[in-house]
Amino acid sequence: MSWSSRLPRLTRGRVIAGAVVLVLVAGLAGWAAWPETEDWTSRDQMLTVPTGPGGRGSVALDTRFYLPKDRDGKVPAVLLAHGFGGTKDSVRDDAESLASRGYAVLTWTAQGFGRSGGQIHLDNPDYEVRDAQGLLDWLAGRPEVRTDAAGDPRVGVVGGSYGGALALMLAGQDARVDAIVPSITWNDLGNVFLEQSADTATTGVFKKGWAGVFFGSSDGGPGGTPACGRFAADVCAAYLQVATTGVPDQKTLDVLRASSPAPILSKIKAPALLVQGEVDTLFPLSEADANARGIAAAGTPVRVAWFTGGHDGGEGPQTDQDRVKLLTLQWLDHYVKGEGDKPSDSFTYSRVAGFSALDRGLVTNGYSTDAYPGLSGTGSTQLSVEGPAQPIANPPNGNPGALSSLPGTGGRLSEILAGVASDIPGQFAAFQSSPLTEAVDVAGSPTVRLRAASPTGEATLFVKLYDVDQQGAETLSAGLVAPVRLTGLPKTIDAAPPVTVTLPAIVRQIDKGHSVRIVVATTDQAFLSPTQPATYTVAVDPALTLPTIVGEPIANPQTVWRYVLAGLLLAIVAGLVVVLLVRRRRLRRQHTPTEQGYADTPLVVKGLRKEYADGFVAVEEIGFTVERGQVVGLLGPNGAGKTTTLRVLMGLTMPTAGEALVFGHRLVPGSPVLSRVGALVEGPGFLPHLTGWENLQAYWRATGRPIEDARFEEALEIAGLGSSVHRRTRKYSHGMRQRLAIAQAMLGLPELLVLDEPTDGLDPPQIAEMRRVLKRYATDGRAVLVSSHLLAEVEQTCTHAVVVNKGRIVASGPVEEIVGESPSVQIEVSDVPAAAQVLSGLGVRSVTPDGPNGLIVDMNGTPRSEVVASLVRAGVDVDRVVPRRRLEDAFLALVGESSAGSGDR
């Protein structure tokens, strides 16, 4: 429901005034939407630069040079590097943005990729870094580029992942670099691909999943080989050696070390803004932490920022990318362009506030603290995890293996597993805390002490931290796992010394009532496991340390937009507000009769009927009650009368007969009691050239209530808009507009919330988050009425349901009474016949085909994890496992399969 749809009818004079305002708005909107001409130019060319040891060779690089059109004299430059597998086109949007900002921007395709020559050396100082030095030479010779001295361009270097490491290593090798902004990149490739999370000197566990993604993504173009594509021979040999044995030899370690910033951090004098992703199983937050400490030790200015993105996703438009871009521009403007105040030393981070799942676009809230706390946080919470020593089996070759992450897939594991635990029975031990008495904001690396015994004296283990809700559903933050390779182990657990395990750093709020579960597993498909079978015994000391941070919310992560347009639009809004306030004063003088018996009941509907002038009866007879603490689902086929009922409840149309009482007040258009109701009916509508935040403020002012009563931050936290609330709504996707409308409905935390299809436009993870939002909202005496056609969501969200068909109620009451018990699950698999054969031997009651790839399985008490594990062991891929919801069955039984009317009104 748009913010204007609550307006009462205006007098003729006000209609004329409103029309004038709308004409002005339409004119401004048309002017603002007029196609903008590009304020930069670009030119492509092949540049040949020195490469190889001593620069004795050469390589041709495919480049593109951008210049701002409106420039006054020479301008500073930015060298913009792409990520692994990309080209100069991969960073086109960022390059155009920087050029529009007044920078000369040089992008290029690194050697070994695209149209550029050469081979992939993984940012080796003699190759990719020397190539970049040649590009600095070229920039210094351009007449448009500002220089600090002959041959020394005024330049910043920006890049992500592969390009981020290039920025670090170039700054350490060439003093001409004036500032760097490396993001989601590495410190030491040896630590990355041979990860070790325990306080031992043992070589780590090979990260085979990500290594395979890299070597599998290199094409066999010029100079390529079938085994390793366009990788250089020494890099190819290093990969094959460690992938075969799992233990690197010295040559492999030397290759990885040569391509790492770690050895040269002390030489970096260029101020560094380090941006790292919280959703990254390739380069976790610990890599940026090591870079920050190494650069700061040399006295170089460093700032650290974490964001809800990374190699496993979360980089969609709903993430806090705007905050990262703002920090980048501030850094370059000050240290390269010489404009703007010196950036602060504050540390900024973000936390998922709503869900949009990894690279589907996480919605986040940003926070800051005065200084970077590292991975240990600014405080800590101590929990006790309980559980006895337990035996766990390592299967031959680590197969089947637990599935915690899917490198290279954009982080869609949560959708694929659909909430099913990926740990395989018999291969893991679990240790769990009691429910938390208050929420904990974890930000950093948790630590736990592990003891292990092995008959072979060695063990490879994978330690995970799960957030477990009250229903037992567990969440592994970003798929992050702590691999541990231990040697010199005793054969009995009593003789095993404790080893401190540092888990990957996470940013997560663990809610009150949730528990923390530590899982120690023997396998993980992302890592190389021992080939020989063995049974280990593991124990975890009770003490678990969770680092915490209390940060200040970041109010506005975006740059301030055009002041003139903002002023004009706000003036228009102010005019509308005046009209509304005048009308509101008149409404306040109205007195609505109250039925005292329902004064504390959010909603009572009695004998509702709505007949239109053409004789169409949209609602025949509807009556139901919504009590405090309830989430009530209004269900029915198209044409059943759901939307008409909601329109009556909001005072948008008058019923032919019957009445609706909100806290005992009869509803009429403009009724004052509507101030206690928040609603989203008939879809969102906003002023397109205001930001989401400004639209919310304008709406609240129009209600005439004090601004301090709006509870903006709480509504935004619940709705999960994150930093996207500071973007203009004309740039919003449908899903973003839907979440903004939900935030608007929740302003002031109204006692009754009425939502018509609130999940429209949201993807499955966002729908799941909306489910949690509505459950949380119906607390503290509030209530929710939600209309939806997604029966499974209603079943999982609502406490009660009202089923409407042909304008009448055919069922109402608690959802569990309407649905009944369901022992079944729905499974989607790669091979239906093979899966049916496996399941038939598990003691399930029935297996029924459900489409080309699906089965409905009556579990007969068989654990779901056992079903999944059995299928995986048999070589059957499991794409999805979800409970078999029976609300649909109950619904069809109540309304019939073809009972839709001629359309709702």
**CATH code of residue 433:** 2.60.120.260
In a shared domain, residues 316 and 445: no
**581 inside domain:** no
Q: Calculate the average pLDDT of the chain.
A: 82
**563 inside domain:** no
Residue 19, pLDDT > 70, answer no
Name which of 646, 663, 647 is nearest 592 in CA terms. Answer: 663
The average pLDDT across 98-106 equals 95
pLDDT single digits (tens) 225-264: 677 889 999 999 999 999 998 899 999 999 999 999 999 9
pLDDT band at 770 (very low <50, low <70, confident <90, very high): confident
**Single residue among 372, 397, 415 that ends a domain in this structure:** 372
> How much is the pLDDT for 897?
47
Locate 476 and state its tokens.
């592994």
End-to-end CA distance of the chain: 15
**Single residue among 338, 355, 372 that ends a domain in this structure:** 372
pLDDT band at 106 (very low <50, low <70, confident <90, very high): very high
Structural domain total, the chain: 5
Identify whether the C-beta of residue 259 lies closer than 8 Å to the C-beta of residue 189. Answer: yes
In a shared domain, residues 638 and 769: yes
DSSP code string of 327-377: HHHHHHIIIII--SPPPP--EEEEEESS---GGGT--EEEEEESS--GGG-
Residue 486 or residue 702, greater confidence: 486
pLDDT band at 869 (very low <50, low <70, confident <90, very high): confident
DSSP 789: S
In a shared domain, residues 253 and 264: no
Identify whether the C-beta of residue 535 lies closer than 8 Å to the C-beta of residue 392. Answer: yes
The secondary structure element, H or E, covering residue 740 is: helix 734-746
The average pLDDT across 19-35 equals 35
**865 inside domain:** yes
DSSP code string of 877-898: -EEEEEE---HHHHHHHHH-TT
Identify whether the C-beta of residue 528 lies closer than 8 Å to the C-beta of residue 194. Answer: no
> How much is the pLDDT for 896?
56
Sorted by sequence, the CB contacts under 8 Å of residue 201 that are 6+ apart come out as none
In a shared domain, residues 490 and 533: yes
pLDDT band at 581 (very low <50, low <70, confident <90, very high): low
Residue 20, pLDDT > 50, answer no
Question: How many contiguous H segments (helices) and E segments (strands) does the chain have?
Answer: 22, 41
In a shared domain, residues 814 and 718: yes
The alpha-carbon radius of gyration of the chain (Å, integer) is 30
| Rounded distance between C-alpha atoms, residue 104 and residue 337, angstroms | 11
> How much is the pLDDT for 740?
85
> How much is the pLDDT for 17?
37
Identify whether the C-beta of residue 183 lies closer than 8 Å to the C-beta of residue 275. Answer: yes
> How much is the pLDDT for 561?
35
Name which of 120, 141, 142 is nearest 131 in CA terms. Answer: 120
pLDDT band at 21 (very low <50, low <70, confident <90, very high): very low
Cα angle: 37, vertex 338, 270; to 5 degrees: 110
Name which of 77, 82, 39 is nearest 62 in CA terms. Answer: 82
DSSP 594: B
Identify whether the C-beta of residue 885 lies closer than 8 Å to the C-beta of residue 823. Answer: no
Residue 379, pLDDT > 60, answer yes
Residue 320 or residue 829, greater confidence: 829
Return the residue matching tokens 């940026």: 288
pLDDT band at 7 (very low <50, low <70, confident <90, very high): very low
Strands (DSSP E) contained in 631-782 are: 631-635, 657-662, 665-666, 677-680, 752-756
In a shared domain, residues 180 and 226: no
In a shared domain, residues 253 and 358: no
Task: Quickly count: other Cβ atoms within 10 Å of residue 61's Cβ.
Answer: 26
Task: Quickly count: other Cβ atoms within 10 Å of residue 643's Cβ.
Answer: 20
pLDDT band at 311 (very low <50, low <70, confident <90, very high): confident
φ, ψ of residue 63 in degrees (nearest 5):
-125, 165
**575 inside domain:** no
> How much is the pLDDT for 13?
39
Beta bridge partners of 507: 443
| Rounded distance between C-alpha atoms, residue 490 and residue 475, angstroms | 33
Report helix angle 162-173 to 128-140, nearest 10. 70
SS3 668: coil
| Rounded distance between C-alpha atoms, residue 696 and residue 698, angstroms | 5
Identify whether the C-beta of residue 210 lies closer than 8 Å to the C-beta of residue 193. Answer: yes
The secondary structure element, H or E, covering residue 610 is: strand 603-611
In a shared domain, residues 51 and 89: yes
SS3 667: coil
Which CATH number does the domain housing residue 709 bear? 3.40.50.300
The average pLDDT across 111-138 equals 96
Task: Quickly count: other Cβ atoms within 10 Å of residue 795's Cβ.
Answer: 23
The secondary structure element, H or E, covering residue 172 is: helix 162-173
Locate 565 and state its tokens.
């347009």
Locate 630 and state its tokens.
């309830």
pLDDT single digits (tens) 731-743: 777 777 888 888 8
**What secondary structure, in 3-state letters, does 724-738 show?**
HHHCEHHHCCHHHHH
Q: Which of 321-330, 731-740, 815-824 has the highest mean pLDDT?
A: 321-330
Which CATH number does the domain housing residue 854 bear? 3.30.70.100
| Rounded distance between C-alpha atoms, residue 3 and residue 754, angstroms | 14
**12 inside domain:** no
**Residue-number span of the structural domain to which 481 is assigned:** 379-550
Residue 425, pLDDT > 80, answer yes
> How much is the pLDDT for 355?
41
Identify whether the C-beta of residue 378 lies closer than 8 Å to the C-beta of residue 549. Answer: yes
**Single residue among 320, 347, 372 that ends a domain in this structure:** 372
**568 inside domain:** no
Instruction: Return left, alpha or beta for 350; rule: phi > 0 is left, psi -120 to 50 is alpha, else beta.
Output: beta
In a shared domain, residues 732 and 872: no
SS3 content of the chain, % helix, strand, coil (to 5): 35, 25, 40
> How much is the pLDDT for 481?
95
Which CATH number does the domain housing residue 143 bear? 3.40.50.1820
In a shared domain, residues 164 and 300: yes
> How much is the pLDDT for 11?
35
pLDDT band at 571 (very low <50, low <70, confident <90, very high): low
φ, ψ of residue 152 in degrees (nearest 5):
-125, 95
pLDDT band at 114 (very low <50, low <70, confident <90, very high): very high
Residue 414, pLDDT > 80, answer no
DSSP 437: S
In a shared domain, residues 307 and 414: no
Residue 133, pLDDT > 70, answer yes
In a shared domain, residues 180 and 209: no
**What secondary structure, in 3-state letters, does 464-503 show?**
EEEEECCCCCEEEHHHCCEEEEECCCCCCHHHCCCEEEEC
Sorted by sequence, the CB contacts under 8 Å of residue 249 that are 6+ apart come out as 241
The average pLDDT across 429-443 equals 95
Residue 689 or residue 600, greater confidence: 600
Sorted by sequence, the CB contacts under 8 Å of residue 110 that are 6+ apart come out as 61, 81, 82, 116, 120, 128, 131, 162, 166
Tell whether pTM > 0.85: no
**490 inside domain:** yes
677-680 vs 603-611, strand pairing mode: unpaired
The average pLDDT across 152-181 equals 97
**795 inside domain:** yes
Identify whether the C-beta of residue 219 lies closer than 8 Å to the C-beta of residue 226. Answer: no
